[in-house]
Structure formats: C-alpha cells, structure tokens
C-alpha cells in the first residue's frame, strides 16, 4: 500500500529574483513499512524534501498524496494536525529539553492530545521501553550520553504511533558505536512495521536501508532497492 505518492514535485524559494530553485520535478512513491534512505550532498535538496513530506513546508508545485489524500488541499490547521499525529521526527541535534526528565521529553507530542494524564504517562513509558531506556526514565536529558539522547528522541517520535518517522542525520552527532546502536533500533522498529525515512549523506547510515534514493542538485539520480544490508568495501551495494 502506498503511504506517500509524489508527482512532479518542485520547490523554489523567493517569488522575485533572485529565485532559488531547490527541487526540480521529483516523482516517486513510498510504501507502508519501507525503510528508505534519502542520500545526497549538502545542497542536494534532501532536507527540503523531508520538510515537505513531513508537513513542515509546502511545495511550490506538484502533487503529494498521503494515504490517498491530496495534501495540497490541506489548510494550515489540518497540516499541523497531521504533522503532530501522523509524523514523527528524529533530528541530528536531538532537540530535547535539557533540565527535563526522559519521560517528560517523550510526553511532549501528547500535550495537545485529548487523553488523560495517566494515558499520556502510559504511552510515554511504552515508547521509552521500546528504545531500551526505561532504566533512565527519570533521568534529566542533560545527564545522558549522546546515544541515549538520540534514543529519547526516537521514543518521542514513536509516542503518537505515527504513520511515518523521519530521521534527519540520526547518527551525525554520535560516535560509531552509538551510531550503530541507533541504527539497530531503527532497523528493529522497521521490522515491527514502522515506515522510516532516513535523510543522510553518510554511507554507513544509509547501508541499513532497504531502498535508497540519491538526490543531486534537486533531481533524483537513482532510486534502487537493496536486496540485503551487506555493504561492499567500495561503498556500493551488491
């Protein structure tokens, strides 16, 4: 089943000169349950694409369908509702509240939900457990290692049970061991049925995906499925 359908997607910044054209007519689909990496160098348009797919921005032209609905017809309120309920984000810089507990950080996306405090705590506790961090639930986020902070960020992205999770350079601030642990968690979540999009320029991160879209200068240069997750020494998938 297609979760997202993108057709002739374009994005530019500015309405008068100088106009910066970032995306130049992208067309692709994302199925439910995929683990997809979007790769490309700085300036390739991958972050702009993530912002549009995650309801953080609107395209200049083109079509996006999310679960069959035309996103271009959404007003700002519906975009915000979908962004909060249907999408989870994991960022390179974690974006945690420093003097707030792990559990309270994970609860944040539930602040506007119409459920009881007891249910919020239950959902947050389950999300923290899903990333193997329940023994740190009452720690302040500034007492955690970088890898643990990223696990909190993943738990926060999970707490609303979103349709899709975007991970923007999820290992960028981590050492190789912590990065590998984070990618193992992401793989496990995908194996449980979560749709996850990784935005990265790092081959070691992208190698965990099942499909890779390469962007360059706002265009798709390749879109390939990976038969397995073995990574060749020369940096190419075999």
Radius of gyration of the chain (CA): 18
Beta strands in the chain (DSSP E): 2-13, 20-31, 35-39, 61-66, 69-70, 87-91, 164-168, 195-200, 211-216, 219-225
Distance of CA 237 to the CA centre of its chain: 23
Q: Provide the 8-state DSSP code for 237.
A: B
> What letters, b where the CB count within 10 A reaches 16 and e where it falls short, cover 10-44?
ebbeeeeeeeeebbeebebebeeebbbbbbbeeeb
pLDDT digit string (tens) for 66-89? Answer: 999 999 889 999 999 899 889 999
Q: Which of 65, 100, 58 is nearest to 79 (CA)?
A: 58
* Environment class of 146 (CB within 10 Å of its CB; exposed 0-12, middle 13-18, buried 19+): middle
Mean pLDDT of the 191-210 span: 93
Tell me 232's DSSP state. -
Contacts with 95 (C-beta within 8 Å, 6 or more apart), sequence order? 153
Percentage of the chain beyond pLDDT 90 is: 78
Per-residue tokens: 28:
């692709």
Q: How many other β-carbons are positioned within 10 Å of the β-carbon of residue 56?
A: 15
Q: For position 161, what pLDDT does the model report?
A: 93
Write down the pLDDT at residue 237: 40
Is residue 92 within 8 A of residue 142, CB to CB? The reply is no
Give tens-digit pLDDT for 104-147.
Answer: 999 999 987 889 999 999 999 999 999 999 999 999 999 999 99
Cα–Cα distance for residue pair 95/71, rounded to 1 Å: 27
Give the integer Cα–Cα distance in Å for 34 and 7: 19
Q: Looking at residue 234, what is its pLDDT?
A: 44
Cα–Cα distance measured from residue 102 to residue 155, given in angstroms and rounded to the nearest whole number: 9
Query: Could you give the CA distance from residue 162 to residue 165 in angstroms, rounded to a whole number?
Result: 7
CA distance 173 to 161: 25
């Amino acid at each position: 089943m297609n979760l997202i359908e993108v057709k002739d997607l374009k994005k530019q910044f500015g309405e008068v000169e100088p106009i910066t054209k970032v995306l130049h007519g992208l067309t692709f689909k994302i199925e439910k349950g995929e683990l997809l990496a979007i790769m490309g160098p700085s300036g390739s348009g991958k972050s702009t694409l993530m912002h549009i797919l995650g309801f953080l921005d609107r395209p200049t032209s083109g079509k996006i369908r999310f679960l069959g609905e035309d996103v271009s017809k959404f007003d700002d309120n519906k975009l915000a509702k979908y962004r909060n309920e249907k999408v989870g984000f994991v960022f390179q810089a974690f974006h945690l509240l420093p003097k707030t507990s792990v559990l309270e950080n994970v609860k944040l996306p539930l602040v506007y939900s119409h459920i009881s405090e007891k249910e919020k705590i239950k959902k947050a506790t389950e999300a923290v457990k899903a990333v193997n961090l329940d023994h740190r639930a009452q720690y302040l986020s500034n007492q955690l290692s970088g890898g643990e902070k990223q696990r909190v960020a993943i738990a926060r992205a999970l707490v609303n049970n979103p349709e899709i999770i975007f991970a923007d350079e999820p290992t960028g601030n981590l050492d190789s061991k912590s990065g590998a642990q984070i990618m193992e968690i992401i793989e496990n979540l995908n194996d449980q049925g979560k749709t996850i999009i990784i935005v990265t320029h790092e081959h070691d991160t992208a190698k965990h995906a099942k499909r890779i879209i390469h962007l360059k200068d706002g265009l798709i240069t390749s879109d390939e499925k990976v038969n397995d997750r073995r990574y060749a020494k020369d940096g190419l998938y075999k």
